[in-house]
Amino acid sequence: MKARFALPFLFTLFGAGCTYVKTDAAAQNIVLANESRVQNCQRLGTASAGVKADIIGINRKEQKVASELLALARNEAANMGGDTLVASSGIEGGKQRFTVYKCN
């Protein structure tokens, strides 16, 4: 009886951990820079990104969360006509803010 319920639970647990954020084609060349590299660029605005930081109480890998946040921010920057991002906050609770610039 227990095995009957355990197997679907395990599939749900591991399946939920397999998240993926796709970077749009227009966002592939958007770079992450620091403040010193954008001094001569046009500031376009801000982009906020958020993903799940944990799955059913289990923390996700920081590198995976950071990668997904950057992909979301790149997509937003592309929608705004930007080509450069600067992280304007750290990652907190699966959320991060970026400033979008047009440098080229």
The DSSP annotation for 59-70 comes to: EPPHHHHHHHHH
Domain count, the chain: 1
Please tell me which residue, 94 or 85, carries the higher pLDDT value.
85
E strands, 1-104, in order = 31-33, 42-50, 54-55, 58-59, 84-87, 95-102
The model's pTM is: 0.76
Please tell me which residue, 71 or 24, carries the higher pLDDT value.
71
pLDDT of residue 73: 94
Position 11 in a domain: no
The CATH number given to whatever domain includes residue 36 is 3.30.110.70
Q: Which domain holds residue 92?
A: 20-102
pLDDT of residue 15: 46
Pairing status of strand 31-33 against strand 84-87: parallel
State yes or no: pLDDT of 54 exceeds 80. Answer: no
Position 14 in a domain: no
Measured between its terminal Cα atoms, the distance across the chain in Å is 63
Position 4 in a domain: no
